[in-house]
Structure 1
Amino acid sequence: MPQDKAIAMAKLAPEMQADLADMTTSTEAESTLVEIDEGGALARNLAIPTLAGRIERAGGFSGIPMSSRHYGTASECLAQAVYYEAALEPEQGQRAVAQVVLNRVRHPAYPNTVCGVVYQGWNQPVCQFSFTCDGALMRAPQANLWRQSKQIAREALAGREVAEVGTATHYHADYVVPYWAFKMGKLATIGRHIFYRFPGSPGRAASFYGNWAGREFKPQVDFARFLADDTEERVARVAEPTYIPGLTVVPDVTDRHAKADVGGRIDTTKTWRLTIPDPVEASAGYRNTLSSQGALIADEVAPAEVSEQEQ
């Protein structure tokens, strides 16, 4: 409903409308964070007051029939959000993440498809769910956690709710403090995620009136750019350091070594170089051994030679 969408968006403060793209739900860009350490972040987040009063519910989501050929795509996108955003969170926290996605599907500020919400900004500098634009999808899911994520996605699409997060459209980890946290309505903390709703009427249940678009499209993420970035990083990590002549270890008074080495390592500031002589050429013992063996062989061969001459 374009007219309703325009009305709902008009109710959002202009500043917040401008900030929507930066109000991501997971790993935050540095520019969106309050500069503070993790311990301080926990304290700051605790200091943000939780909204008083009854938490409104957007109602169970049941907009996509299982018979739809788009159901599988929607379920997969939702399962990916649950897995990559909250696989190690408690089950209720995983369900809350799924609810945030489906709340957005029905809110006019966001796309009206599941995959559209999950992949929003996937090809932009800032994406709403970081796993879609940071290469995380290149990591194969852990089988048991992926099965659980898919089950939670299916149950969320069937209408299962998490009452304490109500009309939440945002969340962030408790070890960061995004600037927008102070502008939203804090609803609940589950696991390490803190959930928020829009302030005022845009965060009320009446604003979640959007209908599912009737189709789903999952974009084809170009993983080549992540591989290229990864290759550059790996090359940088394995690059050989520049050779600088000098000591490779710090000498110690307890070291027992020649003047031209340090603890068994060559001091390249000296002119001495390690050489291993050819034992055949340099060992007197080796030559003596050969000489004595040759003499014995000569003594053993001599009688045979004499007998042959006599014959």
Structure 2
Amino acid sequence: MAKLAPELQADLSDMTTSAETGAMLLDAEDGDALARNLAIPTLAGRLERPGRFAAIPLSSNHFGTAADCLAQAVYYEAALEPALGQRAVAQVVLNRVRHPAYPNTVCGVVYQGWNQKVCQFSFTCDGALMRKPQADLWRSAKAIARDALSGREVAEVGTATHYHADYVVPYWAFKLGKIATIGRHIFYRFPGSPGRAASFYGNWAGREIKPQVDFARFIETDGEEPIELVAEAVYTPGLTVEPDVRDRHAAADVGGRIDTTKAWRLTIPDPVEASAGYRNTLSSQGALVAAAPGSSEQPQ
């Protein structure tokens, strides 16, 4: 692999998918951003492909971990994009896994910079993970992730390692090679030899580790008042305490809460109204026990 230019190498950490306005974006109005992005020429010539990615055995425990990380990238970055656009995002992740400029694990690529001020995929460090996924979109994202890990390619984006939304203009868009626009995302590859298929030779590391994100880090301060980014409220009727995204329990387990929808109440029998066996026991001990109300039994 031809080495990245020093300036490009230094910029890698800032070349993120973030759509936030700020120092990393050029000044542009929303409408103007579309025009400026259209003005960036698309690379001419044949689009190279890095080949199928099928390095993680389906039977491996690491396949499930990798699929979960990849599904998160698909969901939080492109859940409302067309299916092709979602698959393209998955391919960008897997392209990075094989490129020497990035970590050589799926979770490592997805969560790169998650515990720093700047992360490569914005959802890992902007609080998006605290939003509970919509069930149908999450199922779709997981299916796309499994397909990608099983070798499904997206020829339209080839060796793309970057993308951004078309309503922003990141400064790095002019430093890379524009490949294609799918949905609201524009995809790019490294210029020159680093963006050629021959440079995607890295091997998968052999294991996957998903970071445990500390949601407390998403607490921001506005003056002296803390503002916490919390999950979208999902009201579940009958629970005395609403579920929280940080709860650690199975979906069918209310975690020790009393579920009043089951129409039961805790009752403790009155000893005076206890069973005949209980009264007989007391009687044998010399106690005078009255019969329960409505009973035909007589006191012993």
Q: What TM-score does the superposition give when structure 1 sets the normalisation length?
A: 0.71
Task: Look up the match of 1:61.
Answer: 53
AA aligned opposite 1:43:
A
User: Structure 1 unaligned runs (5+)?
Assistant: 1-7, 235-311
Please point out which of 222, 233, 240 is paired with 2:227: 233
Between Structure 1 and Structure 2, the one with more helix by share is 1
* Equivalent position of 2:189 in the other structure: 197
Contact 1:115/1:217 (CA < 8 Å) preserved in 2? Answer: yes
With over 3 angstroms needed to count, the CA separation of the structure-2 counterparts of 1:228 and 1:175, relative to structure 1, is: closer
- Structure 2 CA distance, aligned partners of 1:26 and 1:35? 15
Partner residue, 1:243: none
Letter in 1 for 2:227: E
Displacement of 1:68 after TM fit?
1.1
Deviation at 1:147, TM superposition (A): 0.1
Match of 2:269 in 1: none
Q: Secondary structure at the match of 2:187?
A: strand
**CA 221–79 in structure 1, closer or farther in 2 if over 3 Å, else same:** same
One-letter amino acid of the counterpart of residue 68, structure 2? E
Alignment root-mean-square deviation, CA:
1.6
- Partner residue, 2:79: 87
Counterpart position of 2:32: 40
Query: Which amino acid is 2:105 matched to?
Result: T
- Matching residue of 1:175: 167
How far did 1:229 drift?
4.9
What is the rounded CA distance, in whole Å, between the counterparts of 1:78 and 1:44 in structure 2?
30
Asked if 1:208 corresponds to 2:200, the answer is yes
Q: Report the residue type matching 2:89 in the other structure.
A: V
| Corresponding position: 1:50 with 2:42 | yes
Question: 102, 107, 118: which one pairs with 2:94?
Answer: 102
SS in 2 for 1:166: coil
Deviations 1:12-68 (Å, cap 9, x if unpaired)?
110000000000023246111110111110000000000011100011110101111
Taking the TM superposition and a 5 Å limit, the aligned residue runs for 1:1-311 are 8=1, 11-28=3-20, 30-227=22-219, 229=221, 232-233=226-227
SS in structure 2 opposite 1:95? helix
Q: How far apart are 1:11 and its partner, in Å?
A: 1.8
Quote how far apart the aligned CAs of 1:225 are.
Answer: 2.1
Per-residue CA deviation, residues 165-223 of structure 1 (Å, 9 max, x unaligned), is: 00000000000000000010000000000000000000000000001000001111110
Secondary structure of the structure 1 residue equivalent to 2:27: coil
In 2, Cα distance between equivalents of 1:82 and 1:28: 19
Distance in 1 of aligned mates of 2:20 and 2:38: 19
- CA distance in 2 between partners of 1:212 and 1:29 (Å): 34
Distance in structure 2 (CA, Å) of the matches to 1:131 and 1:194 = 18
The percent of aligned pairs where both chains have the same amino acid is 81
Number of aligned residues:
227
The CA deviation string for residues 96-133 of structure 1, in whole angstroms up to 9 with x for no partner, is 00000000000000000000000000011100001100
Partner-residue secondary structure (3-state), 1:164:
coil
1:253 aligns with none
Q: Distance in 1 between matches of 2:220 and 2:185?
A: 32
Structure possessing the higher radius of gyration over alpha carbons:
1
TM-score, normalization by structure 2: 0.73
